[in-house]
Amino acid sequence: MDILITGLLLGGTYALIAMGLNLQYGVARIMNLANGEILVAGGYFAFIAYTSVLLSPLLTIFLLAPLAFAANWLIYRIMLQPLVNRAKTRGQLETDSILATFGLSFVGVGLMLSFFGGDYFSYSFMAVPVEIVGGTYGANRVISFAMAFVICGALYLWLNRSRSGLAIRAIATAPASARLVGIDVKRLSALAFALGGAVTAVGGALISTYLTLDASVGVVFTLKALIIVIMGGVGDVRGTIIAALLLGVVETAVATLIDPGLTLAAAYVMFLGILLFRPQGLFGKKTT
Amino acid sequence: MSLTGTDLRNLLLAGLALGLCALLPLADGGYWLGLGVTVTMFTVLATSWALFSGPTHYISLATAAFFGIGTYVTGLGFETLPFWSLVGIAGVIGAALAALVGLATLRLSGVYFVIFTLGLAELVRQVITWVQNSTGQRGLYVLTDLQEAGIYWWLLGLATAVFLTGWLVGRSRLGFALRIIGDDEVVAAHSGINTARAKVLLFMVPGAVAAMTGAILAPRYVYIEPSLAFAPILSFQVVIMALLGGASRLWGPLLGVIPFTIILEVVSSNFPNQTTLVIGIAFLLIVYVLPGGFVALPDRLLARINRPGGGA
């Protein structure tokens, strides 16, 4: 029971991060391997805001989200749009964007290392115990989960109920046909990429309230987010959330029952299972 | 297969170059030999990487995983088995693991492969660390009588084998099949090529070679532990060097290995904290300034010169 709830709480934040990546990959077709660095940058932002002006991370995210949105929009427009334009095939875009975002990821780590140094950073925010069905959990974890839940829910509603959400889903399904019905694919792709980055940065700020981060930890989160997105199915919000919760629970179970050093290995075994048996994702339909 | 005059001349020239390289330890036993070992190691790794990734465009980040396994083969077996057999065993294990990874991921699109190989080194590292912790070990001492010059000659031999393999594969049906797969996988499948089998077979080459490289280099480390043997940065360095030189030619990666090894050497000794930044910038340069690497540079320049006048 303890494992289940801790796992679900962790999975909630994972869901948020993976949603960000899913928007970027599913809509803008950019497999953003610098996703984890955006997350760590969000964490640093919350850390600095809290330690210097005592701004609560729950308020910081309202400042962080538009900033991260703008930064990611610029990254897409300046660096990734040219790749989209020059790519002749989907495969070429994939290779180019993987290499370019690897570059961004390393540059991000390098910059953060030179600004903040290689030390771990953490702060104590709402580290008071809360009781849920017999067990006690940190209030920061519970609040992060609640925030992640609200944001995921809002995104889900927006994608499924609003007109722009419909357009975004159209691009994710068939980018070529979306243009034919008058959807501005370029503008909305940039928007989806920026939105994905903002969601990830907010996830980073939330996760920094209860996990210790350092400048080079980003790649671990990138990997987890990638595994979640593939498990849940590209462009599938519901699948992403379920896969994220599943990963949170499995990881926590392995960490408590076997060894905390094996969390990524556990995620990997799940990933391998998906690749072997359901490469289209948990809820994906088989492609013909 | 028949050899033309040009083939024979190229083989002769390559043999001469190899002979010259083999003389290096006699000229200098210190700094230059050390640099020679590093350059040869990366030549072996980057060339074998490009054998697979050049024609197929799959980006493999598994080098560190295979390399680490190789070092552990030597670390565990050097007291009981002769060194040459350890290199062989490492090669077999590397090839087998590559086949497994290939079977799981190469049927799918390139993204899955990148992600899987990206985490493979970390996965193996976590498992080995866990096994060591539960058996109470920390690291392994590798004390052999193999000197730097010996390591260098071993690597040079492996480099020769890699270049020969690449040359033979390029002339074989398998190499032809892979070039078609790289151009258009659908076409390849329709012309009766078993695309998954061809890709898995070729992926076994860099897997085996990287493991053998690790086995050869283990004595140089003296003390090995998981975080050292499976350092993920190695995979990225290999990718950069191969792409910087150009993965479309057999000798392309060599053109990237030499400058980038020297750059990294200079940066890491003068600004040790900036290596990640340099690697990041190198990736961006490859994508935006040098697509196709140095090898493709003459063609691209020619195309640029011819374009205004040549537009019919």
Comparing A118 with A31, the larger pLDDT belongs to: A31
The per-residue pLDDT for A238 is 82
Q: Which of residues 251-280 of B touch A (CB under 8 A)?
A: 273-280
Say if the Cβ atoms of A265 and B283 lie within 8 Å. Answer: no
A116 lies within 8 A of chain B by CB: no
B227 lies within 8 A of chain A by CB: no
Residue B125's CB is within 10 A of a number of other CB atoms, namely 24
Say if the Cβ atoms of A106 and B236 lie within 8 Å. Answer: yes
Report the alpha-carbon angle B54-B99-A229, nearest 5.
75
Mean pLDDT within A140-148: 81
Cα(B215)–Cα(B84) distance, rounded to whole angstroms?
A: 10
Q: Which residue type, as a one-letter code, is found at position A75?
A: I
Say if the Cβ atoms of A102 and B133 lie within 8 Å. Answer: no
A226 lies within 8 A of chain B by CB: yes
Of A96, A100, A106, the CB nearest to B276: A106
Cα(B169)–Cα(B158) distance, rounded to whole angstroms?
A: 16
Q: Does residue A124 carry a pLDDT above 50?
A: yes
Residues of B in contact with A95 (CB under 8 A): 57, 59, 110
B109 lies within 8 A of chain A by CB: yes
Mean pLDDT within A209-229: 84
The per-residue pLDDT for B312 is 39
The per-residue pLDDT for A133 is 64
Q: Does residue A271 carry a pLDDT above 60?
A: yes
Cα(A68)–Cα(B299) distance, rounded to whole angstroms?
A: 40
Residue-averaged pLDDT of chain A: 82
Mean pLDDT within A162-188: 81
Cα(B131)–Cα(A118) distance, rounded to whole angstroms?
A: 28
Q: Does residue A270 carry a pLDDT above 80?
A: yes
Please write down the HEC assignment for all residues of chain B. Answer: CCCCHHHHHHHHHHHHHHHHHHCHHHHCCCHHHHHHHHHHHHHHHHHHHHHHHHHHCCCCCCHHHHHHHHHHHHHHHCCCCCHHHHHHHHHHHHHHHHHHHHHHHCCCCHHHHHHHHHHHHHHHHHHHHHHHHHHCCCCEECCCCCCHHHHHHHHHHHHHHHHHHHHHHHHCHHHHHHHHHHHCHHHHHHCCCCHHHHHHHHHHHHHHHHHHHHHHHHHHHCEECHHHHCCCHHHHHHHHHHHHHCCCCCCHHHHHHHHHHHHHHHHHHHCHHHHHHHHHHHHHHHHHCCCCHHHHHHHHHHHHHHHHHHCC
How distant is the Cα of A132 from the closest Cα of chain B, in angstroms?
32
User: Could you tell me the end-to-end alpha-carbon distance of chain A, in angstroms, rounded to an integer?
Assistant: 41
The per-residue pLDDT for B310 is 44
Say if the Cβ atoms of A110 and B278 lie within 8 Å. Answer: yes
User: Which tokens is B48 given?
Assistant: 């074998």
Residues of B in contact with A268 (CB under 8 A): 119, 123
Substitution target from A33, A35, A95 for chain B, most B beta carbons within 10 A:
A95
Span B216-266, pLDDT tens digits: 888 888 788 887 888 888 888 888 888 888 877 788 888 888 888 888 888
User: Which tokens is B49 given?
Assistant: 């990487």
The per-residue pLDDT for B93 is 92
A129 lies within 8 A of chain B by CB: no
Of B133, B134, B287, the CB nearest to A103: B287
Of B115, B129, B287, the CB nearest to A99: B287
Residues of B in contact with A106 (CB under 8 A): 236, 276-277, 279-281, 283
Residues in Cβ contact with A170 at an 8 Å cutoff, skipping those fewer than 6 apart: A177, A178, A181, A183
B92 lies within 8 A of chain A by CB: no
Substitution target from B115, B117, B138, B239 for chain A, most A beta carbons within 10 A:
B115
Q: List, for chain B, all residue ranges whose pLDDT scores fall below the cut of 70.
A: 1-2, 29, 307-312
Say if the Cβ atoms of A94 and B110 lie within 8 Å. Answer: yes
How distant is the Cα of B103 from the closest Cα of chain A, in angstroms?
9
Cα(B303)–Cα(B312) distance, rounded to whole angstroms?
A: 14
In what helix (H) or strand (E) does residue A91 lie, and over which residues does it extend?
helix A90-116
The per-residue pLDDT for B66 is 92
**Strand A135-138 relative to strand B140-141, pairing:** unpaired
Residues of A in contact with B274 (CB under 8 A): 110, 114
A103 lies within 8 A of chain B by CB: yes
In order of A216, B28, B48, B184, the CA distances from B229 in angstroms are 19, 27, 19, 37
Say if the Cβ atoms of A105 and B243 lie within 8 Å. Answer: no
Say if the Cβ atoms of A103 and B280 lie within 8 Å. Answer: yes
> Within its chain, how far is the Cα of B230 from the centroid?
15
The answer to whether B235 touches B121, Cβ cutoff 8 Å, is: yes
How distant is the Cα of B239 from the closest Cα of chain A, in angstroms?
10
Flag whether the pTM goes above 0.95. Answer: no
Cα(A182)–Cα(A252) distance, rounded to whole angstroms?
A: 46
Residues of B in contact with A227 (CB under 8 A): 115
The per-residue pLDDT for B308 is 59
The answer to whether B287 touches A99, Cβ cutoff 8 Å, is: yes
% of chain A beyond a pLDDT of 90: 1
Which chain A residue has its CA at the smallest distance from B291's CA? A96
Report the alpha-carbon angle B78-B81-B85, nearest 5.
100
Q: Does residue A226 carry a pLDDT above 80?
A: yes
Q: Does residue A189 carry a pLDDT above 60?
A: yes
Q: Does residue A128 carry a pLDDT above 70?
A: no
* Closest listed residue to residue B55, CA positions, set B149, B150, B145, B180: B180
B122 lies within 8 A of chain A by CB: yes
Q: Does residue A288 carry a pLDDT above 70?
A: no
How distant is the Cα of B126 from the closest Cα of chain A, in angstroms?
6
Span A44-83, pLDDT tens digits: 888 888 888 877 777 788 888 888 888 888 888 888 888 8
- Owner of token pair 């479309």: B248
In order of A201, A281, B23, B52, B109, the CA distances from A275 in angstroms are 28, 8, 48, 21, 11
Band of pLDDT at residue A126, cut at 50, 70 and 90: low
